[in-house]
C-alpha cells in the first residue's frame, strides 16, 4: 500500500484493542479495490471517548468502527444516529461526512446477511436465539423484522424478558422469552428452523462447552454460532455431525464489516477478500 498525502484513514476504537482482526480484514479489502484508505486500531480509554471523537473530526478521519466498551458512550458525541443504533443504544460504525458524524449499528444486519448468504434465510421462520447481551440485542432487533416467531433464552431470565418485550413492541411479532436451561432449550427447539447462539458459551478458553446437547440437533435445523474463537465451536461441530446447516460466527463478522465498508466507501464490499483475510488471520492466531 502506498501511503501519500491523499490517503484517508479509517480505524477501530476500543479497549482492549490489540487482538482485533479489523486492520487485516479492511486493509485487504481497501487494497483489493485500489482504494486510497488505510485502517488502524486505536486503544481509547473510556475517559477519552469524547476526545477520540473530537480527534476524528479534527483529523478528518473517514470512518471508525467502535467496539467494547465504547458502543454506548460514543453516541453522545455524534451528530446523528440511525434507527437501529438508537434503538439499541449502541453504535459500531461512524461515518464522517464533511465534518458531520453519523452513527450506525451493523451487527444485526451482519447476522441476518450471514444467515441469508449461507442458505438459512430467516424470512417467515421460527428462530431460537440464545443470549440477551449486546450482540443478541442487535441480532434480535434485525431478525424480528424477518421471522415469523422469535424465542429468546438467557441465563439471566430477566434480561431475556426485557429484550423480548422491547422487540415485541418494536416489531409487532410473536416474541417470547425463557431460561437458558436444558429443558427449556429442548422444548423451544421443537418446530424451530434456525438456532442462533449469541452467548459466549463455547468461546476459548471454554471451547469444549456447548449450550445445546448434540441429540437435540437435527438435519432440518440451521445453526449459527456467533462465537468465532475457535473458528469451529463445539456447537458447530455437533450441528455438522447431526447433518444440520451450519453458519460460522466468522460469517457474521465478515458481513457486519462488509456493511461498515459500504457505509464508509459507498463501494460494493469485496466479501471474498474479507473472508479469506479474516480466516487466514484467525487460523494463524488460534493455533
The answer to whether the peptide bond before residue 42 is cis (omega within 30 degrees of 0) is no
Please state the closest distance from residue 107 (CB atom) to ligand NAP, in A.
6
DSSP state of 268: P
Nearer CB in complex with ligand NAP: 9/150 = 150
Q: Kindly identify the residues of this chain, within the stretch 35-54, that bind ligand NAP according to CB under 6 A.
A: none
Q: Which is nearer to ligand NAP, 203 or 273 (CB)?
A: 203
**Cis ω before 284 (30° cut-off from 0):** no
Name the maximum alpha-carbon separation found in the chain: 61
Q: Name the grid cell of 266.
A: 459507498
* Sign of CA pseudo-dihedral 259, 91, 52, 77: positive
Least separation in angstroms between CB 55 and ligand NAP: 25
Q: Does 154 bind ligand NAP (CB under 6 A)?
A: yes
What character string, x for contact with ligand NAP (CB under 6 A) and - otherwise, covers 240-259?
---------x--xx--x---
Site track 72-111 with ligand NAP (rule: CB under 6 A), x = hit: -----------------------------------x--x-
Sites for ligand NAP among residues 116-145 (CB under 6 A)? 131-136
Q: Phi/psi of residue 153, each to 5°?
A: -120, 135
Helix extents (H) in the chain: 22-32, 49-58, 83-88, 107-117, 134-146, 157-171, 182-188, 234-241, 249-265, 271-286
- Count residues binding ligand NAP (CB under 6 A): 25
| Residue positions annotated with a catalytic role | 71
Does residue number 201 form part of the binding site for ligand NAP (CB under 6 A)? Answer: yes
Return residues touching ligand NAP (CB under 6 A): 107, 110, 131-136, 154-156, 159, 180, 198-201, 203, 226-228, 249, 252-253, 256
Amino acid at each position: 500500500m502506498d501511503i501519500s498525502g491523499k490517503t484517508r484513514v479509517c480505524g477501530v476504537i476500543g479497549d482492549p484493542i490489540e487482538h482485533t482482526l479489523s486492520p487485516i480484514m479492511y486493509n485487504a479489502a481497501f487494497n483489493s479495490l485500489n482504494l486510497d484508505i488505510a485502517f488502524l486500531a486505536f486503544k481509547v480509554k473510556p475517559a477519552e471517548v469524547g476526545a477520540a471523537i473530537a480527534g476524528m473530526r479534527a483529523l478528518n478521519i473517514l470512518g471508525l468502527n467502535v467496539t467494547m466498551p465504547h458502543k454506548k458512550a460514543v453516541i453522545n458525541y455524534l451528530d446523528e444516529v440511525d434507527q437501529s443504533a438508537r434503538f439499541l443504544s449502541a453504535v459500531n460504525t461512524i461515518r464522517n461526512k464533511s465534518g458531520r458524524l453519523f452513527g450506525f449499528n451493523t451487527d444485526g444486519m451482519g447476522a441476518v446477511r450471514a444467515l441469508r448468504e449461507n442458505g438459512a434465510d430467516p424470512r417467515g421462520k421460527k428462530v431460537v436465539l440464545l443470549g440477551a447481551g449486546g450482540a443478541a440485542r442487535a441480532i434480535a432487533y434485525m431478525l424480528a423484522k424477518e421471522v415469523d416467531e422469535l424465542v429468546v433464552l438467557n441465563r439471566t431470565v430477566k434480561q431475556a424478558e426485557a429484550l423480548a418485550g422491547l422487540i415485541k413492541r418494536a416489531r409487532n411479532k410473536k416474541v417470547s422469552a425463557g431460561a437458558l436451561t436444558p429443558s427449556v432449550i429442548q422444548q423451544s427447539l421443537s418446530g424451530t428452523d434456525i438456532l442462533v447462539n449469541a452467548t459466549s458459551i463455547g468461546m476459548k478458553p471454554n471451547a469444549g462447552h456447548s449450550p445445546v446437547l448434540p441429540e437435540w440437533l437435527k438435519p432440518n435445523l440451521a445453526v449459527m454460532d456467533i462465537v468465532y474463537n475457535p473458528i469451529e465451536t463445539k456447537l458447530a461441530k455437533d450441528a455438522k455431525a447431526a447433518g444440520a446447516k451450519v453458519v460460522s460466527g466468522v460469517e457474521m463478522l465478515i458481513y457486519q464489516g462488509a456493511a461498515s465498508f459500504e457505509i464508509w466507501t459507498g463501494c460494493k464490499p469485496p466479501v471474498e477478500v474479507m473472508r479469506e483475510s479474516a480466516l487466514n488471520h484467525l487460523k494463524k492466531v488460534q493455533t
